[in-house]
Structure 1
């Protein structure tokens, strides 16, 4: 093949390769174009207000793509555009998924105008108004407003208000300086008396009355006259009050009082007003003054005086001490402490200073009583006190009544002295009713009613007659055992009575457990409790039995006593339910009648020693029979109706029951 043919063939091969490359590039470009057309997001931006659309510029702030006029072409998942227009703030908008391929609305906000203004007055009290609304107070202002026309007013107190019209385009700032004219006014001044010299800001301007022209401002006015106090005032001439007027009453010149007071720290009163100062006191020189000086514990001193103009007077006042008589008595006798110092034993009369004193009355075992008193020379003060023992105060806090778990109601009593028994000359008296002087110091509880069969049956199940009749036919030992049982169920762990193998062997006088009343307690309850004096019978000293007094024998009574009515009938042939009759004056039921009652004491027929006082006696610790007290349904004689009557037995009977007692405290 010739060289020419080889060149032609080589040229054809190069041409084929070139066309292949071009076709390949066209295929790639076509594919990319198809891919771009399939994934590009086209969004039209709609700008507001409409006036910005002609000159606004939209640009891509975030994402891949480009902007053509008002159309955004984006290949990114997140696309953020910004829109800018003269006179408006730049708006930024993130295209939302629902806006892609559709329209996105973007609003541009108009830029405000700015007014900056000051005045020639440079007054910090200047008030600035825009379109009639107060916007600032100060010597100058800088405030944003909407584009357009506005009315600016500056109002300084000492100048005439100035109005200015201003127009601003969007984003425009204007700088203004307003020239204010001073207010033109006058000061009118009158005085009483007339003819006083007037100074304004330190310069004499004349004598009152007068009118002085002045421009706006604040002025110091000084007014003086012979023998009168100089007066200083401040007056303002303002655009609201350009012509202020003042009328002054000039006070006479003062005199001066220098008080010398003894003792110190008293109360000084001049013309009805308390004066705290003790130095040179300025007072009017044309009137009389009333002075009073007083201090607790001293007689008050009064004085009248007057001062001349400019006079300085020294006044010396020395108060005289005041004392009063105080009488102090107490029951019982007690130590006296006055203001924490011992002052003797009651009763006493003391001369004390007429100031408030703290007085305490003290006695061992008694609650201290504290009193405050201010003695007076005009009368004797008295303090009369009854001290309460700690035991008494303790009793006042304790329950006065309660009910045991067995259903027995109890009442508290605070006993005192009683003369037990009866004298030989008393009708119905028996030889064993020895008179005994007894003082009962221990408070105790006692049951309001006699123990019923139903209550006793809780203790002795064998007693089948569970009713409200008083339990009878039980011995003293059974009654004592019931008391211990009652202590146990009520949580009193220290029983009063002691038993060994079911046999009574003694008692514990310090126990708070339930027990039978002592003979002395029972007689005190029947003859003195709830009464002003001790009596022979539970109802008094009368030999006539009042109606409804109790359950006694309905047969004719012996020994001279009689019922109040000849046909008296208590309604019961034998036992009556407890509480069937009215209580005695102490609030206890059936203490007279129904059944006689076991008491704690052993029976003894040995007379007591003469003149011996017994305290809270409980009888002997050994014996056989025990005492029972009180009348019963079987009683028909004067002897047995008296509480002084003493019966004795060991075994029970059908007319003897019992009631329960216990000490309030050990």
Structure 2
């Protein structure tokens, strides 16, 4: 730490950094004649000592002017001129020595006065006039003492003085000045006078001062010369002296949010509209907006902070009780506390009694009494376990944790414990614990069995479930309705591993085809489920040969339907849900699906509608590029077509793929006529169709149907089909890849992508919220469209490899 030793005319003293030197009351070293603008500061900055000009006026250092805000490293021997004093740096280092020399000086020279004939009292109103003796020339001739020679010397001296004064007057330079207030007294160091809007001073660097009662003294260093610019002097009014009466409350005084002093007492406040705040412990802030006159005038203000603390008295009937307020330290009861006004959390504990908790509101200046409270009997404790462990435990309908678990129970009250776990049936037990009783409860959960069928190639593959060998494929086993890990292995084949969740408690199946050994390193069969970076889930469609479309004798068959045999060899994924407005707007931010009967169908979770087939194709290419896949579509001869050979980029599903996904019911079953089965009607609430809730906006509706949605519903609101796909039956119809042809019977085909010809119309599949005919719910139903509509959306597909 640097010691600062100050040598002043009044003596020697020591200070610590930082120190300020100048003419204001805030300065550590007061300099006469410095005013409020000549201030310098010695401080430590970045572990180095520096000298900084802190005021609004320049200061001379070693004869060179330093501008306001300038700084430099101080050196021993430096000399600064501040006001009417000289500050010399005697030593700089571990000890900083400052020598302050005050100098007496006058800004002006008194005018020459004629000699008087006697003493004159300035306080007298009259003055004595004494006639002077006249001396004539003849008397001079008679005077032989040589007084004539002395007169000549006097005349010469007088002439020299006149010449000197005249020369001095010619040396004065005029400085144009504007002063506010107008009656301020303006002077320059040395000889000067102020007349009107001009200040006359000798040339060179001069200190200009302006003084007026009620204003801070103005000081500025100016270079006086013939072409000196106009000097604009705006004097700052002195702050007002505000005497604050706080009725004895010791408080901090803040003006416009900045602390300036303490109350009660007197503080200096700048003139103008000010917000005065008194802040005191255990009191509310007292604030008032006032107008301060300033100009050094004294004004009075009475402002009293109001107490915001109250008292809280707490007692209980139990002995050895303790109180905790707002989770603080325990306090023995009974007790009376001082607390801030407002809400407080109380916690009371006593041996052999039930803890008590509550919230109280304490009012300022008032006493709140709580009690005497009677604490209840202590809670019981229960250790709960289950087989298997990890089961959820609820008490009185509230979740309390998972087994094994140790919880408290209210003594003397009947309570219902329910233990549940996915894949197992719930177990309920009613208990009435005694005060302080400790219970040990164990629950055996019954298994909920779900049938899982596994089949595929090779037929003799070994099947392991959750690490245990369960037999050879094909295999059907009953398993708990929870998640299971499946491994299928065979000699000469790579092991296939997957997981399946049977929580839906419905019969499930797994079709597999093991990959022979010798494949490239890292090769894996396509996963049963994948997900895009923007959250779109896709499921793998089954391979095989299927007869799609409708037979001639099928009830409800339309003229544009036909039968075809399609073999699916290349594995393909299909999205489980339709593309939503939010997902499509990530590609095209300006898209809006619109309104139906003044109800928006443009919500983020709803399927995107009002899109053309080309809009859907361009979205697929954008999604492919976003994931680094080769785009599936290209433009040839003005038409958008699938690239050949087809890439694994995102695309629209083909009509054949869409229909297979809607009708598939497992390898042991034939394809269904409808998504839910082969017979009408559909299960109640199974899809978003033209139900009774849309009767006001549609010309016809399905008789007896109701699904709660008068138009478009958010995606995923209805049950999934066998392959885990949702909204295939209703909500919105969907664009597929195929060009529409009223008749297209290509015979037996493989990985069929639709007619080779291109045209303006493309196939749409699946019912929608406007579908009002049961025949149109068949998976074979198809229609052609060439424009966007509010009941047409799409979902994406892609080849697995």
TM over 0.5: no
Higher Rg of the two aligned structures: 1
TM-score, scaled to structure 1: 0.38
The structure with the largest helix share of the pair is 1
Structure number with higher relative contact order (C-alpha < 8 Å, ≥ 6 residues apart):
1
TM-score by length of 2: 0.33
